[in-house]
Homo-oligomer: A and B are copies of this chain.
Amino acid sequence: MAIAQRFEPLFRPRSVTFIGASKSPMKWGFIVLSNLINGGFKGKIYPVNPKESEILNLKVYPSVDEIPEVSDLAVIVTPPSSVPPLIEDCLRKGIRAAVVITAGFAEVGEEGRKLQRQMADVARSGDMILVGPNCNGIMSPNWSLYPMMPPVFPQPGPLAMVTQSGNVGNSVVSRGMARGFGFSYYVSSGNEAHLGVTDFIEFFGEDPQTKVILSYVEGIRDGRRFLEVARRVSRTKPIVMLKVGETAAGARAALSHTAALTGSDATFAAAARQAGIIRAGDMDELFNIAATFIRQPVLKGRRVGIVTVGGGWGVLAADACAKAGLDVVQLPEETMKELNSILPPWWSRGNPVDLVAGMRAGDIRNSLEALLRCPQVDGVIVLGAMGAAPKQEEGPTSFLSLMAMAGGNLFEDVPQLIDKYRKPILLASDTFFGGIEWGRDMSAALGDKGLVCYPLPNHAAVALSSLAQYGEYLRENGYQ
Protein backbone atom coordinates (compact mmCIF):
# COMPACT_ATOMS: atom_id res chain seq x y z
CA MET A 1 0.00 0.00 0.00
CA ALA A 2 1.31 3.45 -0.82
CA ILE A 3 2.45 5.34 2.26
CA ALA A 4 0.02 8.24 1.88
CA GLN A 5 -2.89 5.83 1.58
CA ARG A 6 -1.80 3.88 4.64
CA PHE A 7 -1.85 7.01 6.80
CA GLU A 8 -5.11 8.35 5.39
CA PRO A 9 -7.36 6.92 8.17
CA LEU A 10 -5.06 8.41 10.82
CA PHE A 11 -4.68 11.91 9.42
CA ARG A 12 -7.79 12.37 7.26
CA PRO A 13 -10.50 10.33 8.99
CA ARG A 14 -14.09 10.92 7.91
CA SER A 15 -15.29 10.24 11.44
CA VAL A 16 -13.67 9.58 14.84
CA THR A 17 -14.67 7.08 17.53
CA PHE A 18 -13.62 8.38 20.92
CA ILE A 19 -13.31 5.60 23.49
CA GLY A 20 -13.30 6.61 27.14
CA ALA A 21 -15.25 9.84 26.83
CA SER A 22 -15.93 11.42 30.21
CA LYS A 23 -18.29 14.01 31.62
CA SER A 24 -15.81 15.12 34.27
CA PRO A 25 -13.97 18.26 33.15
CA MET A 26 -10.90 17.19 35.09
CA LYS A 27 -10.49 13.89 33.22
CA TRP A 28 -8.51 13.38 30.04
CA GLY A 29 -11.60 11.69 28.58
CA PHE A 30 -13.29 15.08 28.72
CA ILE A 31 -10.29 17.30 27.89
CA VAL A 32 -9.10 15.39 24.82
CA LEU A 33 -12.68 15.16 23.52
CA SER A 34 -13.11 18.92 24.07
CA ASN A 35 -9.94 19.61 22.12
CA LEU A 36 -11.12 17.37 19.29
CA ILE A 37 -14.39 19.33 19.17
CA ASN A 38 -12.82 22.77 19.69
CA GLY A 39 -10.28 22.08 16.95
CA GLY A 40 -13.16 22.24 14.49
CA PHE A 41 -13.11 18.66 13.22
CA LYS A 42 -15.57 18.52 10.31
CA GLY A 43 -16.55 14.84 10.51
CA LYS A 44 -18.75 13.04 13.02
CA ILE A 45 -17.45 12.24 16.50
CA TYR A 46 -18.76 9.12 18.30
CA PRO A 47 -17.95 9.14 22.02
CA VAL A 48 -18.01 5.74 23.72
CA ASN A 49 -18.82 5.20 27.40
CA PRO A 50 -21.20 2.52 28.69
CA LYS A 51 -22.34 4.75 31.58
CA GLU A 52 -23.22 7.96 29.76
CA SER A 53 -25.76 8.99 27.14
CA GLU A 54 -24.59 12.49 26.22
CA ILE A 55 -21.32 14.37 26.68
CA LEU A 56 -20.57 17.85 25.32
CA ASN A 57 -23.78 17.72 23.30
CA LEU A 58 -22.74 14.52 21.55
CA LYS A 59 -24.69 11.26 21.71
CA VAL A 60 -22.62 8.67 23.59
CA TYR A 61 -22.53 5.00 22.57
CA PRO A 62 -22.18 2.16 25.07
CA SER A 63 -19.70 0.30 22.84
CA VAL A 64 -17.87 0.49 19.54
CA ASP A 65 -20.19 -2.15 18.14
CA GLU A 66 -23.25 0.03 18.50
CA ILE A 67 -21.93 3.02 16.56
CA PRO A 68 -23.98 3.33 13.34
CA GLU A 69 -20.93 4.12 11.20
CA VAL A 70 -17.43 2.75 10.78
CA SER A 71 -14.96 5.45 11.77
CA ASP A 72 -11.54 5.53 10.16
CA LEU A 73 -9.91 6.48 13.44
CA ALA A 74 -10.33 5.53 17.10
CA VAL A 75 -8.88 7.59 19.95
CA ILE A 76 -8.51 5.63 23.19
CA VAL A 77 -8.06 7.03 26.71
CA THR A 78 -9.28 4.09 28.87
CA PRO A 79 -7.14 2.28 31.49
CA PRO A 80 -4.30 0.03 30.23
CA SER A 81 -5.88 -3.40 30.76
CA SER A 82 -8.97 -2.39 28.78
CA VAL A 83 -7.02 -1.36 25.70
CA PRO A 84 -6.15 -4.68 23.95
CA PRO A 85 -9.80 -5.90 23.92
CA LEU A 86 -10.92 -2.45 22.73
CA ILE A 87 -8.43 -2.59 19.87
CA GLU A 88 -10.03 -5.96 18.98
CA ASP A 89 -13.46 -4.31 19.01
CA CYS A 90 -12.16 -1.57 16.71
CA LEU A 91 -10.58 -4.05 14.33
CA ARG A 92 -13.75 -6.13 14.20
CA LYS A 93 -15.74 -3.01 13.48
CA GLY A 94 -13.44 -2.12 10.58
CA ILE A 95 -11.62 0.85 12.13
CA ARG A 96 -8.22 1.18 10.48
CA ALA A 97 -6.26 3.47 12.79
CA ALA A 98 -6.02 4.02 16.55
CA VAL A 99 -4.32 6.56 18.80
CA VAL A 100 -3.81 5.14 22.29
CA ILE A 101 -3.20 8.00 24.70
CA THR A 102 -3.33 5.87 27.86
CA ALA A 103 -0.04 5.43 29.76
CA GLY A 104 1.03 2.55 32.00
CA PHE A 105 2.43 0.05 29.46
CA ALA A 106 6.01 -0.97 28.70
CA GLU A 107 7.39 2.01 30.62
CA VAL A 108 6.12 0.65 33.97
CA GLY A 109 7.29 -2.97 33.85
CA GLU A 110 6.63 -6.54 32.76
CA GLU A 111 2.83 -6.53 32.93
CA GLY A 112 2.64 -3.33 30.92
CA ARG A 113 5.04 -4.77 28.35
CA LYS A 114 2.74 -7.76 27.94
CA LEU A 115 -0.34 -5.59 27.45
CA GLN A 116 1.54 -3.46 24.95
CA ARG A 117 2.63 -6.52 22.97
CA GLN A 118 -0.96 -7.86 22.93
CA MET A 119 -2.27 -4.54 21.66
CA ALA A 120 0.32 -4.34 18.88
CA ASP A 121 -0.30 -7.97 17.89
CA VAL A 122 -4.00 -7.32 17.48
CA ALA A 123 -3.35 -4.28 15.34
CA ARG A 124 -0.81 -6.06 13.14
CA SER A 125 -3.08 -9.07 12.70
CA GLY A 126 -5.55 -6.90 10.84
CA ASP A 127 -3.48 -4.28 9.10
CA MET A 128 -4.54 -1.57 11.47
CA ILE A 129 -2.14 1.26 12.26
CA LEU A 130 -1.61 2.26 15.84
CA VAL A 131 -0.04 5.29 17.53
CA GLY A 132 1.08 5.14 21.18
CA PRO A 133 0.43 4.08 23.86
CA ASN A 134 1.65 6.64 26.40
CA CYS A 135 1.33 9.56 24.01
CA ASN A 136 -0.47 12.89 24.08
CA GLY A 137 -2.19 12.65 20.70
CA ILE A 138 -1.82 13.62 17.07
CA MET A 139 -2.68 16.66 14.96
CA SER A 140 -3.56 17.07 11.34
CA PRO A 141 -4.24 20.81 11.04
CA ASN A 142 -5.17 20.68 7.35
CA TRP A 143 -7.95 18.33 8.41
CA SER A 144 -8.85 20.35 11.56
CA LEU A 145 -8.02 17.25 13.58
CA TYR A 146 -6.64 17.85 17.09
CA PRO A 147 -7.27 14.85 19.42
CA MET A 148 -4.75 16.10 21.97
CA MET A 149 -4.29 16.28 25.73
CA PRO A 150 -3.28 19.95 25.85
CA PRO A 151 -5.33 22.59 24.04
CA VAL A 152 -2.90 23.48 21.23
CA PHE A 153 -4.27 24.28 17.81
CA PRO A 154 -1.50 25.22 15.39
CA GLN A 155 -2.51 26.44 11.96
CA PRO A 156 -1.59 24.35 8.89
CA GLY A 157 1.96 24.90 7.66
CA PRO A 158 5.18 23.36 6.39
CA LEU A 159 6.54 21.82 9.62
CA ALA A 160 5.90 18.20 10.59
CA MET A 161 6.83 16.82 13.97
CA VAL A 162 7.17 13.36 15.42
CA THR A 163 8.08 13.13 19.08
CA GLN A 164 8.66 10.41 21.63
CA SER A 165 7.59 12.87 24.30
CA GLY A 166 4.23 14.58 24.19
CA ASN A 167 5.20 17.39 26.49
CA VAL A 168 8.37 18.15 24.56
CA GLY A 169 6.29 18.01 21.39
CA ASN A 170 3.86 20.57 22.76
CA SER A 171 6.61 22.84 23.86
CA VAL A 172 8.05 22.85 20.36
CA VAL A 173 4.68 23.25 18.63
CA SER A 174 3.86 26.11 20.99
CA ARG A 175 7.10 27.81 20.01
CA GLY A 176 6.02 27.50 16.39
CA MET A 177 2.61 28.97 17.15
CA ALA A 178 4.15 31.88 19.04
CA ARG A 179 6.33 32.65 15.99
CA GLY A 180 3.57 32.37 13.42
CA PHE A 181 4.50 28.97 11.98
CA GLY A 182 2.11 26.22 11.09
CA PHE A 183 2.31 22.44 11.04
CA SER A 184 1.32 19.82 8.46
CA TYR A 185 1.29 17.05 11.08
CA TYR A 186 2.14 16.31 14.66
CA VAL A 187 2.52 12.85 16.14
CA SER A 188 3.32 11.96 19.70
CA SER A 189 4.56 8.41 19.15
CA GLY A 190 4.90 7.48 22.82
CA ASN A 191 6.02 3.91 23.46
CA GLU A 192 5.71 3.07 19.75
CA ALA A 193 4.03 -0.30 20.18
CA HIS A 194 3.41 -0.29 16.44
CA LEU A 195 4.30 2.83 14.44
CA GLY A 196 7.41 4.74 15.39
CA VAL A 197 9.62 7.67 14.50
CA THR A 198 10.91 5.97 11.36
CA ASP A 199 7.42 5.41 9.94
CA PHE A 200 6.43 9.01 10.39
CA ILE A 201 9.67 10.41 8.99
CA GLU A 202 9.07 8.23 5.95
CA PHE A 203 5.50 9.51 5.61
CA PHE A 204 6.54 13.15 6.09
CA GLY A 205 9.24 12.60 3.48
CA GLU A 206 6.61 11.85 0.84
CA ASP A 207 4.01 14.35 2.03
CA PRO A 208 3.85 17.35 -0.32
CA GLN A 209 2.75 19.75 2.43
CA THR A 210 5.76 19.07 4.64
CA LYS A 211 8.96 20.99 4.00
CA VAL A 212 10.91 20.39 7.20
CA ILE A 213 10.78 17.52 9.73
CA LEU A 214 11.23 17.98 13.47
CA SER A 215 11.81 15.09 15.83
CA TYR A 216 12.42 14.42 19.48
CA VAL A 217 13.94 11.00 20.00
CA GLU A 218 14.85 9.01 23.09
CA GLY A 219 15.63 5.70 21.44
CA ILE A 220 15.48 4.23 17.95
CA ARG A 221 14.11 0.68 17.81
CA ASP A 222 14.95 -0.14 14.19
CA GLY A 223 18.39 1.38 13.66
CA ARG A 224 19.10 0.03 10.21
CA ARG A 225 15.72 0.92 8.71
CA PHE A 226 15.77 4.28 10.47
CA LEU A 227 19.07 5.24 8.84
CA GLU A 228 17.96 3.97 5.45
CA VAL A 229 14.76 6.04 5.64
CA ALA A 230 16.53 9.11 7.04
CA ARG A 231 19.11 8.98 4.25
CA ARG A 232 16.38 8.82 1.64
CA VAL A 233 14.24 11.59 3.16
CA SER A 234 17.10 13.98 3.92
CA ARG A 235 17.97 14.17 0.22
CA THR A 236 14.99 16.44 -0.21
CA LYS A 237 13.89 17.52 3.27
CA PRO A 238 15.96 18.47 6.30
CA ILE A 239 15.38 16.28 9.36
CA VAL A 240 16.13 18.21 12.54
CA MET A 241 16.43 16.07 15.65
CA LEU A 242 16.69 16.55 19.38
CA LYS A 243 18.14 13.22 20.53
CA VAL A 244 18.44 12.75 24.28
CA GLY A 245 20.06 10.21 26.52
CA GLU A 246 23.56 11.57 25.87
CA THR A 247 24.41 11.04 29.53
CA ALA A 248 23.86 8.07 31.82
CA ALA A 249 21.33 10.10 33.84
CA GLY A 250 19.42 10.98 30.68
CA ALA A 251 19.51 7.39 29.44
CA ARG A 252 18.06 6.11 32.73
CA ALA A 253 15.32 8.74 32.57
CA ALA A 254 14.45 7.78 28.98
CA LEU A 255 14.16 4.12 29.93
CA SER A 256 11.57 4.89 32.58
CA HIS A 257 9.79 7.37 30.33
CA THR A 258 9.11 5.44 27.13
CA ALA A 259 11.05 2.23 27.79
CA ALA A 260 13.53 3.50 25.20
CA LEU A 261 17.10 2.25 24.99
CA THR A 262 19.04 5.35 24.03
CA GLY A 263 22.22 3.55 22.98
CA SER A 264 25.66 5.10 22.65
CA ASP A 265 25.51 8.75 21.74
CA ALA A 266 28.79 8.62 19.80
CA THR A 267 27.49 5.80 17.61
CA PHE A 268 24.22 7.63 17.04
CA ALA A 269 25.99 10.92 16.28
CA ALA A 270 28.15 9.32 13.59
CA ALA A 271 25.23 7.49 11.98
CA ALA A 272 23.02 10.57 12.11
CA ARG A 273 25.68 12.65 10.41
CA GLN A 274 25.94 10.13 7.61
CA ALA A 275 22.19 10.18 7.18
CA GLY A 276 22.09 13.97 6.90
CA ILE A 277 20.26 14.46 10.18
CA ILE A 278 20.77 17.86 11.80
CA ARG A 279 20.95 17.66 15.57
CA ALA A 280 19.62 20.32 17.90
CA GLY A 281 20.86 20.96 21.44
CA ASP A 282 17.58 21.91 23.10
CA MET A 283 13.93 22.67 22.35
CA ASP A 284 14.63 26.26 21.29
CA GLU A 285 17.27 25.08 18.85
CA LEU A 286 15.02 22.35 17.50
CA PHE A 287 12.39 24.89 16.55
CA ASN A 288 14.82 27.61 15.46
CA ILE A 289 16.82 25.39 13.15
CA ALA A 290 13.75 23.77 11.60
CA ALA A 291 12.07 27.11 10.97
CA THR A 292 15.24 28.42 9.34
CA PHE A 293 15.06 25.78 6.63
CA ILE A 294 11.61 26.88 5.49
CA ARG A 295 12.66 30.01 3.66
CA GLN A 296 16.46 30.18 3.72
CA PRO A 297 18.73 28.60 1.11
CA VAL A 298 21.56 26.39 2.37
CA LEU A 299 24.95 28.05 2.82
CA LYS A 300 27.39 27.58 -0.04
CA GLY A 301 30.36 28.07 2.28
CA ARG A 302 30.94 29.01 5.91
CA ARG A 303 31.83 32.69 5.47
CA VAL A 304 29.52 35.00 7.39
CA GLY A 305 28.89 38.73 7.36
CA ILE A 306 27.24 40.43 10.34
CA VAL A 307 25.39 43.76 10.39
CA THR A 308 24.55 45.06 13.85
CA VAL A 309 22.84 48.09 15.27
CA GLY A 310 24.83 47.78 18.50
CA GLY A 311 28.31 46.47 19.21
CA GLY A 312 27.74 43.98 22.01
CA TRP A 313 25.31 41.86 20.05
CA GLY A 314 27.88 41.88 17.24
CA VAL A 315 30.63 40.59 19.52
CA LEU A 316 28.33 37.88 20.88
CA ALA A 317 27.39 36.88 17.34
CA ALA A 318 31.02 36.79 16.22
CA ASP A 319 31.96 34.55 19.15
CA ALA A 320 28.94 32.32 18.55
CA CYS A 321 29.62 32.02 14.81
CA ALA A 322 33.24 31.03 15.42
CA LYS A 323 32.14 28.47 18.01
CA ALA A 324 29.59 27.08 15.54
CA GLY A 325 32.33 26.59 12.95
CA LEU A 326 31.51 29.63 10.83
CA ASP A 327 34.08 32.10 9.55
CA VAL A 328 33.40 35.76 10.41
CA VAL A 329 35.31 36.71 7.32
CA GLN A 330 37.59 39.74 7.04
CA LEU A 331 35.94 41.85 4.37
CA PRO A 332 37.79 42.46 1.10
CA GLU A 333 39.04 45.92 0.14
CA GLU A 334 36.19 46.47 -2.28
CA THR A 335 33.42 45.79 0.23
CA MET A 336 35.18 47.97 2.81
CA LYS A 337 35.27 50.81 0.30
CA GLU A 338 31.62 50.37 -0.49
CA LEU A 339 30.70 50.40 3.21
CA ASN A 340 32.88 53.48 3.79
CA SER A 341 30.98 55.27 1.08
CA ILE A 342 27.59 54.27 2.53
CA LEU A 343 28.11 54.61 6.26
CA PRO A 344 28.91 57.49 8.63
CA PRO A 345 32.55 57.76 9.76
CA TRP A 346 32.03 56.08 13.12
CA TRP A 347 31.10 52.65 11.80
CA SER A 348 33.23 49.76 13.01
CA ARG A 349 35.35 49.40 9.84
CA GLY A 350 35.20 45.65 9.95
CA ASN A 351 33.01 42.60 10.27
CA PRO A 352 30.69 42.77 12.23
CA VAL A 353 29.55 45.93 10.48
CA ASP A 354 28.55 47.89 13.58
CA LEU A 355 26.37 50.95 12.97
CA VAL A 356 26.95 52.09 16.58
CA ALA A 357 23.34 53.16 17.06
CA GLY A 358 23.69 55.45 14.04
CA MET A 359 20.17 54.73 12.89
CA ARG A 360 20.15 56.67 9.62
CA ALA A 361 17.50 55.56 7.17
CA GLY A 362 18.85 52.99 4.76
CA ASP A 363 22.09 52.19 6.59
CA ILE A 364 20.99 48.73 7.70
CA ARG A 365 19.52 47.78 4.35
CA ASN A 366 22.47 49.18 2.36
CA SER A 367 25.08 47.48 4.55
CA LEU A 368 23.19 44.22 4.27
CA GLU A 369 23.14 44.44 0.51
CA ALA A 370 26.85 45.35 0.35
CA LEU A 371 27.61 42.17 2.29
CA LEU A 372 25.29 40.08 0.10
CA ARG A 373 27.05 41.40 -3.00
CA CYS A 374 30.45 40.48 -1.59
CA PRO A 375 31.61 37.19 -3.16
CA GLN A 376 33.52 36.33 0.03
CA VAL A 377 30.30 36.30 2.10
CA ASP A 378 28.03 33.22 2.00
CA GLY A 379 25.33 34.41 4.39
CA VAL A 380 24.46 37.38 6.60
CA ILE A 381 23.17 37.85 10.14
CA VAL A 382 21.37 41.15 10.87
CA LEU A 383 21.19 42.09 14.54
CA GLY A 384 18.95 44.49 16.40
CA ALA A 385 16.77 45.67 13.54
CA MET A 386 13.61 44.91 15.48
CA GLY A 387 12.23 48.35 14.83
CA ALA A 388 11.58 47.33 11.26
CA ALA A 389 8.55 45.44 12.47
CA PRO A 390 5.11 45.91 11.02
CA LYS A 391 2.90 48.44 12.80
CA GLN A 392 5.95 50.50 13.69
CA GLU A 393 3.83 53.62 13.30
CA GLU A 394 2.01 52.54 16.46
CA GLY A 395 5.23 52.41 18.45
CA PRO A 396 4.80 54.10 21.81
CA THR A 397 7.83 56.38 21.61
CA SER A 398 10.08 58.17 19.20
CA PHE A 399 12.68 55.52 20.02
CA LEU A 400 10.58 52.97 18.17
CA SER A 401 9.98 55.41 15.33
CA LEU A 402 13.72 55.90 15.02
CA MET A 403 14.27 52.16 14.95
CA ALA A 404 11.53 51.82 12.39
CA MET A 405 13.08 54.50 10.20
CA ALA A 406 16.50 52.86 10.46
CA GLY A 407 15.04 49.47 9.63
CA GLY A 408 12.96 50.77 6.76
CA ASN A 409 11.12 48.02 4.97
CA LEU A 410 13.78 45.50 5.94
CA PHE A 411 11.38 42.75 6.89
CA GLU A 412 9.55 43.21 3.60
CA ASP A 413 12.82 43.29 1.66
CA VAL A 414 14.51 40.27 3.20
CA PRO A 415 12.59 37.62 1.20
CA GLN A 416 13.39 39.44 -2.05
CA LEU A 417 17.06 39.82 -1.12
CA ILE A 418 17.28 36.12 -0.24
CA ASP A 419 15.91 35.25 -3.67
CA LYS A 420 18.05 37.80 -5.48
CA TYR A 421 21.38 36.74 -3.97
CA ARG A 422 20.57 33.12 -3.07
CA LYS A 423 22.19 33.67 0.31
CA PRO A 424 20.54 33.27 3.71
CA ILE A 425 19.74 36.38 5.76
CA LEU A 426 19.07 35.66 9.42
CA LEU A 427 17.53 38.22 11.77
CA ALA A 428 18.08 38.35 15.51
CA SER A 429 16.75 41.00 17.81
CA ASP A 430 15.10 41.76 21.09
CA THR A 431 11.44 42.56 20.81
CA PHE A 432 10.92 43.71 24.36
CA PHE A 433 10.79 47.44 23.71
CA GLY A 434 7.45 47.39 21.97
CA GLY A 435 5.74 45.25 24.60
CA ILE A 436 4.92 41.56 24.40
CA GLU A 437 1.88 41.96 22.17
CA TRP A 438 3.96 43.92 19.70
CA GLY A 439 6.67 41.25 19.78
CA ARG A 440 4.04 38.62 19.15
CA ASP A 441 2.59 40.54 16.19
CA MET A 442 6.04 41.06 14.72
CA SER A 443 6.85 37.37 15.09
CA ALA A 444 3.56 36.39 13.48
CA ALA A 445 4.09 38.74 10.55
CA LEU A 446 7.58 37.35 10.01
CA GLY A 447 6.31 33.80 10.39
CA ASP A 448 3.87 34.46 7.55
CA LYS A 449 6.92 35.09 5.37
CA GLY A 450 8.62 31.94 6.65
CA LEU A 451 11.10 33.99 8.66
CA VAL A 452 12.12 33.98 12.31
CA CYS A 453 13.50 36.76 14.44
CA TYR A 454 15.83 34.83 16.77
CA PRO A 455 15.83 36.22 20.29
CA LEU A 456 19.58 35.78 20.78
CA PRO A 457 22.54 36.24 18.41
CA ASN A 458 23.85 32.77 19.29
CA HIS A 459 20.54 31.25 18.15
CA ALA A 460 21.06 32.83 14.73
CA ALA A 461 24.65 31.56 14.59
CA VAL A 462 23.60 27.99 15.36
CA ALA A 463 20.80 28.13 12.78
CA LEU A 464 23.19 29.48 10.14
CA SER A 465 25.67 26.76 10.94
CA SER A 466 22.91 24.19 10.38
CA LEU A 467 22.29 25.65 6.93
CA ALA A 468 26.01 25.19 6.25
CA GLN A 469 25.98 21.62 7.54
CA TYR A 470 23.01 20.61 5.43
CA GLY A 471 24.48 22.29 2.36
CA GLU A 472 27.72 20.37 2.85
CA TYR A 473 25.79 17.12 3.23
CA LEU A 474 23.84 17.70 0.02
CA ARG A 475 26.95 18.61 -1.95
CA GLU A 476 29.13 15.82 -0.55
CA ASN A 477 26.50 13.30 -1.56
CA GLY A 478 25.92 14.84 -4.96
CA TYR A 479 22.31 15.77 -4.15
CA GLN A 480 22.88 19.39 -5.04
Contacts and interface: CB of A to CB of B under 8 A. Distances in A.
Interface of A: 25-26, 28, 30-31, 34-35, 103-104, 107-108, 134, 136, 149-152, 163-171, 174-175, 177-178, 216, 218, 244-250, 252-254, 256-258, 282-284, 309-323, 327-328, 345-346, 348-352, 354, 356-357, 359, 384, 396-399, 401-402, 405, 430, 432-433, 436-437, 440, 456, 458
Contacts of A440: 436
A316 B254 CA distance: 9
Given A152-B432, A253-B350, 14 more contacts: A25-B401, A26-B398, A31-B397, A103-B357, A104-B345, A165-B311, A168-B316, A171-B432, A218-B312, A250-B322, A253-B318, A256-B348, A256-B350, A282-B316
Nearest to A361: B26
A174 B351 CA distance: 27
Nearest to A252: B350
Q: 6 closest pairs, A vs B, by CB?
A: A165-B312, A167-B310, A257-B311, A250-B319, A168-B312, A247-B322
B384 A354 contact: no
A386 to B, nearest CB: 11
Given A171-B430, A315-B218, A352 B399 contact: no
B248 A322 contact: yes
Identical copies in the complex: 2
Contacts of A458: 282
Contact of A319 (B171, B246, B328): B246
Contacts of A405: 26
B283 A345 contact: no
Nearest to A173: B432
Contacts of A28: 357
B433 A436 contact: no
A327 B171 CA distance: 25
A433 B150 contact: yes
Given A150-B433, A174-B430, A322 B249 contact: yes
Contacts of A254: 315
Contacts of A35: 399
B167 A313 contact: yes
Nearest to A27: B402
Contacts of A396: 151
Contact of A249 (B247, B249, B321): B321
A312 B171 CA distance: 10
Given A349-B256, A350-B253, A402 B26 contact: yes
Among A166, A250, A345, residue most surrounded by chain B Cβ atoms (within 10 Å): A250
A77 B54 CA distance: 71
A72 to B, nearest CB: 26
Contact of A247 (B150, B218, B319, B432): B319
A191 to B, nearest CB: 10
A440 B435 CA distance: 11
Nearest to A26: B402
A312 B164 contact: yes
Contacts of A311: 107, 165, 167, 253, 256-258
A402 B108 CA distance: 24
